[in-house]
Structure formats: structure tokens, C-alpha cells
Structure 1
């Protein structure tokens, strides 16, 4: 988890992840999108690869990168308790509770009326 958190701490690496979210890109295609040197982009890609967030595939002389979101799982699990649901989520939870309560009451009333009809 620490390696993933360290990898996404840099804004350039986060932007690379956003680019790769849409699909596979070559190292050159990634580098074209930044105003930093190709060696600097290469170092960022290496950090992302070492953290497991991207995979590299060598095709001829080109290296293609793809996003691997799997390593985010542990970080997301750790972060989730810190995120409070929005007001809407609370309202929707309350609505869901009310729907289940009404269904239960109707089911119980139907069961009671069946019992009265057979008694």
C-alpha cells in the first residue's frame, strides 16, 4: 500500500494513470503529453511499473503501458472509512429502510388477514 501511495503522490504520475485509464499507450505517446523530458517521463513510468499500477509490454522496439488497477484495492480499503457519505446517501438509505418497513408491514397484514379468513 505504501508503494502505491508513494507512486500516486506525484501529479505527473497521477496524470499518466488518467491517460492509461482509456487504454494502452506507448512510452512515446505518454511522453508527448507532457512538457518534461522523455527520460523524466520514463522515470515516472518506471515508478508506476514498480508499484504494480502499470504493466509494460515490449513490442518490437516500443514499450506499451497499460493500467493495472488491482494494487489500488488495498489503498481503497484503507481510505474508505475516512470518507463520509454525502447527504444524499443518508437520505437514500433512509428511503430504503422505509420501503423495507412498508413491505414488511404489508406482508404481515396480508398474513394476518389470511389467518383471520381461515379461523
Structure 2
């Protein structure tokens, strides 16, 4: 299977700060056209489109044509994988902080 046919990894997709900002912008609005998204960055439409394509390959963004305009919306479902992964470590840190507190209390 060549790389273009593979679905992009969600972790790779959100690794870039520009793509995280795009997701945040899309989360704040129901749907945004490319020109409004591009206005939020100091880069051209082609660069923003490439970032959106990566998010789309990861399933994080959907698009639709309205006349000549392409509008984008967030699909947050794939973010659940990241939430679940982070939740494991949240439990790890909560448990360890509890242990540390009890050790510190014993030392008093």
C-alpha cells in the first residue's frame, strides 16, 4: 500500500502547531471557508490547504464544495484516541501524586 492511500496518523496530524490552530478555529465555528482560515495565518492559501489535507487524511476535518468555495468543518471523533491515551497517563500521575502526598505526610 503506498503512502498516499494510507490514512494519516492522528498523532502526526496534530503534532504541528498550525494544524492544532486550524482545529481550534474549526471547533469554534460550525464551518469555515478556506479564505477565512487562511486569513488567520501568515502563509498562503496553498500552505493552509496542505495542512487541511493532512487533517482530512487523518479524519479530523471534512470538507464540502459550495459553488466555487470549499468549506471545512471539524470531525472530533478521531481525537478520542488521543483522549484515551492521555487519560491513561492522567491516572498514572494522579496515583503517583497520591503516593507522594502520603509519603510527605508520613515525614511530618
TM-score by length of 1: 0.68
Match of 1:79 among 67, 82, 86: 86
Aligned residues: 87
For 1:5 and 1:37, the matched residues in 2 are separated by: 24
**Does the residue aligned with 2:42 lie in a helix, a strand or coil?**
coil
In the alignment, structure 1 segments of 5+ residues that lack a partner are: 91-119
Give 4+ residue runs of structure 1 displaced > 2 Å after superposition: none
CA RMSD of aligned residues (A): 1.9
**Does the residue aligned with 2:38 lie in a helix, a strand or coil?**
helix
Q: Which has the larger radius of gyration?
A: 1
Partner residue in 1 for 2:75? 68
For 2:82 and 2:19, the matched residues in 1 are separated by: 16
Match of 2:14 among 8, 15, 34: 8
> Which has more helix, going by share of residues?
1
TM-score by length of 2: 0.74
The offset of 1:57, in angstroms, is: 0.9
The offset of 1:46, in angstroms, is: 0.4
The offset of 1:38, in angstroms, is: 1.1
